Structure 1
């Protein structure tokens, strides 16, 4: 649950008539409106890739994105949402930055979010993702995910990386789309604060020799106990696919392979859980209350 004081401030509330004129304001009540069809289409990965846009549902996610300086395209508000002072501040900030503000009725909000009980705010933002050069620009401990498939896992890893002070998250190979609705939602706002980078497996392998830190992979054949591992920083923690783990190609270029000790009858851990455990152990001595 999010407390009110966990939600960042935007800009002071001002009357609607006094809002900056940088962005347009309109009311839409028809689900067939072209702008609504455009926003709905962003639920498809192909259309997100073509437009470079994505959806963030909820006033908190919209506020987090604006606070972090993400370019905003459109903000869709439910009827009456502007009566809430915080939502009004978020809308004022978005409009001042050139966003179109759309006030929509319940049927339109349901179509935009594909929920029977939709959020009162749906934001459309421009995508931002870096290449491998981001790892050097943001030194520290990065989390690398090879071929992650589940958007919930990806979102949870990003949220965990934020909580434990990781420098960023690197996606290697064919992965789920980080800009998908479920992935963004699972980050609980951390998506907008954690640097995100992407590279093909071939590009990663070519880049690996230039990385001046340790590359640590979790692997069933690992001989190092994650609880005693300390490779310093900068470093890169590589986690594999939910079903197959790290590929042989990526495992081969790791400086060390580590394993999480387990008891009981379970033969594996969820990817997000195992990433959280490994990341905590590698950052244990750098965390303070």
Structure 2
């Protein structure tokens, strides 16, 4: 499937610029509430920290709702340019005191900018599995750092998407977004219940490879380069569910020489991704 430009957000009226100096301001309270999963789901919004991530989101065509900038740094040329870009796109800009930024990011010495973006999730049908595409399936991943690192690694390896199956950590939690280092905006993410995923998987034409303690095949053995691939990675403690393991074409194992009986989920996913993409990345 040829690369397509990111969808353009709908045209909106220009945003407004406001100065906020109190952490008790209702606008600040609403943004702080995005630390809660319930509030993110109710509003459809999430928070990112840092000017780079804000720019990454804008460049990728994601809808920015609010940009918070440090008033003390408002004369920074790139920050000023981004603020003007945000207003032109319809987002509000809050010029905040250091105290307000600390309250929003829950950090001492916060960065000069934070952005509130509208969430975007893909459907299973939007995950590209044509040609030699590789997508990752994560079964009940619970650690936000692991998920963020997997998304960043999937972006680096050129994966076509990440599918979250079952009860997983929220990909738009602040901890996960931090760990993606901006890749939250680059990798399509789909969520599905196990039964829904299995129905979709039954229609997939390609190679489905799962890592498993019972795997007897070396992870380097499958022919990843001749067809689309789904890499299925299990929960940090329990591994793949029985239903997901049974739907794999092959269960593989990553050889280890030390005393550890398993690899960290994000590390194992990175190993699998770069092996599956080795032929493509070598070009």
1:267 aligns with 2:261: yes
Structure 2: tracts of 5 or more residues without a match: 1-11
Q: Aligned-pair distance for 1:258?
A: 0.9
Please give the secondary structure, in 1, of the residue aligned with 2:66: strand
What is the aligned partner in structure 1 of residue 4 from structure 2?
A: none
How far residue 81 of structure 1 moved from its aligned partner, in angstroms, is 2.3
Runs of 4+ in 1 over 3 A off after TM superposition: 136-139
Structure 1 alignment gaps of length 5 or more: 1-19
Alignment of 1:90-101 (within 5 A): 90-101=82-93
Q: C-alpha separation between the residues in 2 aligned to 1:111 and 1:284?
A: 44
User: Which residue of 2 is the match for residue 40 of structure 1?
Assistant: 32
Q: Partners of 1:104 and 1:233 in 2: how far apart?
A: 51
- In structure 2, what is the equivalent of residue 162 of structure 1? 155
Aligned to 1:119: 111
- Separation in 1, partners of 2:123, 2:102: 35
Aligned to 1:61: 53
2:9 maps to what in 1? none
What's the secondary structure of 1:117's corresponding residue? Answer: coil
2:274 maps to: 280
CA distance in 2, matches of 1:130, 1:204: 13
Pairwise CA distance, 1:208: 1.4
The offset of 1:137, in angstroms, is 7.2
1:20-35 matched pairs, under 5 angstroms: 22-35=14-27
Between 153-162 and 139-148, the greater mean CA deviation after superposition: 139-148
Secondary structure in 1 matching 2:177: helix
Is the CA contact 2:128–2:161 (under 8 Å) kept in the aligned structure 1?
no
Q: 1:143 aligns with which of 136, 154, 160?
A: 136
Match of 2:95 in 1: 103
Looking at structure 2, the residues matched to 138 and 227 of structure 1 have their Cα atoms a distance apart, in angstroms, of 22
- The equivalent residue for 1:132 is 124
The within-5 A match list for 1:196-215 is 196-215=189-208
Q: What CA RMSD, in Å, does the superposition of the two structures yield over aligned residues?
A: 1.5
Asked if 1:239 is matched to 2:227, the reply is no
Q: State the distance in 2 between where 1:164 and 1:207 align.
A: 24
> What's 1:88 paired with?
80
Which of 27, 40, 44 is residue 52 of structure 1 equivalent to?
Answer: 44
Partner of 2:239, secondary structure, is coil
